Structures are given as structure tokens and as C-alpha cells.
Amino acid sequence: MGVVFEPKTEENKAGLLEEFLEKAGGCAVIDGGFATQLEIHGASINDPLWSALCLINNPHLISKVHLEYLEAGADVIVTSSYQATLPGFISRGLSLEQGEKLLAKSVELATDARDLFWETVEKIGDHSYNRALVAASIGSYGAYLADGSEYSGYYGDDVDLNKLKNFHRRRLQVLVEAGPDLLAFETIPNKLETQAIVELLEEEDVQIPSWICFSSVDGVNAPSGESFADCLQVLNTSQRVAAVGINCAPPQFVHSLVQKFNELTRKVIVVYPNSGEIWDGVAKRWMPSKCFNDDKFKVLATRWRDSGAKLIGGCCRTTPSTIRGLSKALKQSCLASN
Ligand SMILES: C[S+](C)CC[C@H](N)C(=O)O
Ligand SMILES: N[C@@H](CCS)C(=O)O
Ligand SMILES: [Zn+2]
């Protein structure tokens, strides 16, 4: 029988992630590529809103994908809000209020799927699932720009700390209000945005634990070329950041980055790389590169776990099948080491 995790009150949310990990046996599984699985089901997301387009025109598909990842063994599911932004929705002719409702809906779709799935498996009795946590996705400013800059870290000379804080503020408030268990800042590419997030979490007195994940294109530094030592120094000062790591970078970079992060932080380390394909921000498609199939991904994942990562999943171009294999491998290795 898996872990049943009691909902937390405002005052004791801070330790939620650590407690969850402990009860789950030391490591937990995150879901896989969300937009990828929407596309596999036929969603057309070649749009400035990318996967968030489905919040407008296909919310049922979002629920279906959440359920598929839960069934595959995800302990944490990430909402469909990666590229859901208020300016993005407004530029499609939606009102501010409609945009805010869509953001809240992204959390509601995930929590409803989690609750429905849990109700179903509880009836089975003997199962190995944990009651999943819902992490609200907050994509970087570069994701909103839809120009590939989440992989370059170059936002232009007119983008300063205040502009980034103002970009993130209202969406953060609305997502927090919707009541997810965690906040997942994804594909952060530079130190300036890291600073903006840390300051914003403080200014908004956010009680929900966050993870902050960077992309990486060289396997050594943040995409901007700034060192992870510099970026993590900013994060280490924040009590509100529970976990730090890497998402949507190629799998072959992850092992050495986990080792590096072990030296740079005492926070939980989270990794969910993509399949190894490279995003072409101009052509807006994934280019084949050193791709990792599910079997290779699974083997690497146990290595990431052995080197200290405690939250492990997949990002773009990974699927429920990737997560199923990874979940089996990690849960076996968690049990073996406990
Ligand atoms: C994680 S990337 C593949 C998301 C899509 C990108 N921000 C774009 O809109 O082009
Ligand atoms: N949570 C997002 C991240 C894109 S990089 C997704 O899986 O689609
Ligand atoms: Zn990704």
C-alpha cells in the first residue's frame, strides 16, 4: 500500500516535500512530457500559448493526460500552465478574468484527476501507488516569449528584474490561490529570473513549497552562460525554495549536474530531462539528436537517484511509457536501499 498524504494547513506546508519524500521511501517520481502527450493524442499546439491552448479548447484531454501519468506511477503531476500567462491569454482576446479562471482551472484539472485516481485505487486496496502531489507549472519568461529563449537565457536589454517580477506576479498569485501542493518553476535560463522568483516568493509571502529548475544546453552552465554556482547562491538564501534542479535538458547532462548541485546546495535535487532531442525555437519543432529510449532513460534514472536526486521524472518527448519504466526501476531501487 502506498503513501497517503494528509493535506497541510498554511502553517506547516513548508516541510511537505521532505515529509512526502521520506514517506515515499526517499525518492519520488514526477510525470513526463505534458505537451508531448497532448500532441500524441492529436492536440495541435503550434501556437504562442503552446500546450496552454488546450486549457481553452480541450480541457478533457488535459484530464486524460494527468490520469495517464498517474496510472503510469507518477507521484507528482505538473499542471498544464507552463505557457499559460495572462498577457498570452489577453493577446488572444480573453479578458483578465477569463485568463485568471483558466490558470485556476489548470490546478483544478490536476487536483480533480489526482483525487479521482486516488479514490479509484483506494478501492483496489493492495496497490503500490502514493497519493500524488500537484505541482503548478510556472514556465519561464522565455517560454512566454515563444522564441526559444528558455534555452538561450537571452531576454534582451530591456528586460530587468522588475519586468520579470511584474511578469510573474499575478500568475503566481492566481496559481497559489488555486491551492496546488507545490509550485514548479520550469526551464529557468538565467540568474536574473532566478533572483526575480526568489524576491517574488518573499514579497508575496508564498507558503507553498517551490522547486526551481533550470534548463542547460552545455551540461555545465545555465543557458545564459552564467554558472550554476552563481544561480544556486541566489536560491540557497530562500527558505521558500524546497528543491532545485534541471528540467528539459538532455539526459546525458544530468548525472554530472546532479553531482555539481550536490556541492552547491543542501536543497532537494529534482531532475526531469527531456528525451535528448533539441528544440528548434524558430522552426518550432524537435530535432533528432542523441535520443534516449525508455530503457536507456530508466537505467540513467537509477543513476541520478544513486547520485542524490530525490525527485525524478521526464520532460518533453518523454511519455507515460517512460514514466512507467522509470517508476518501476526507481521504486525497486528505493525499496532495496531502505
Ligand atoms: C519547452 S519548449 C519546447 C515550449 C515551447 C516554446 N516556449 C515555444 O513556444 O516555442
Ligand atoms: N511541464 C511542461 C514543461 C515543458 S518544458 C511540459 O511537460 O509540457
Ligand atoms: Zn520540456
CA distance 153 to 140: 10
pLDDT at 334 over 70: no
Report CA(279)–ligand 1 centroid distance (Å).
8
Closest ligand to residue 286's CA? 1
pLDDT score recorded for residue 9: 52
Nearest to 16 by CA among 201, 222, 182: 182
pLDDT at 216 over 50: yes
pLDDT at 262 over 50: yes
- What does the DSSP assignment read for 257-293? HHHHHHHH-SSEEEEE---S-EEETTTTEEEP-S---
Q: Kindly state the percentage of the chain with pLDDT values over 70.
A: 94
**Most ligand 2 atoms within 8 A of CB, residue of 61, 183, 211, 316 to mutate:** 316
151 ligand 1 Cβ < 6 A? no
Cell of 55: 486549457
Cell of 181: 501542493
- Segment 268-289 shows an average pLDDT of 95
- Segment 287-300 shows an average pLDDT of 92
- Sorted by sequence, the CB contacts under 8 Å of residue 142 that are 6+ apart come out as 148, 149, 150, 151, 152, 153, 155, 187, 189
Per-residue pLDDT reduced to its tens digit, 238-257:
999 999 999 999 999 999 99
Per-residue pLDDT reduced to its tens digit, 6-52:
554 554 576 899 999 999 999 999 999 999 999 999 999 999 999 99
- Segment 57-76 shows an average pLDDT of 98
pLDDT at 335 over 80: no
82 ligand 1 Cβ < 6 A? no
CA distance 272 to 31: 9
pLDDT at 1 over 50: no
Report CA(275)–ligand 1 centroid distance (Å).
15
* Beta strand extents in 161-320 (DSSP E only): 182-188, 210-214, 241-247, 268-272, 278-280, 285-287, 311-312
Pairing of strands 311-312, 28-29: parallel
279 ligand 1 Cβ < 6 A? yes
Pairing of strands 311-312, 268-272: parallel
146 ligand 1 Cβ < 6 A? yes
Residue nearest to ligand 1 atom 8, measured at CA: 146
pLDDT at 2 over 70: no
Closest ligand to residue 137's CA? 2
- Segment 189-218 shows an average pLDDT of 98
Question: Which numbered atom of ligand 1 lies nearest the CA of 284?
Answer: 10
What's the pTM value of the predicted model, to 2 decimals?
Answer: 0.96
pLDDT score recorded for residue 336: 56
Nearest to 27 by CA among 313, 325, 314: 313
CA distance 75 to 82: 19
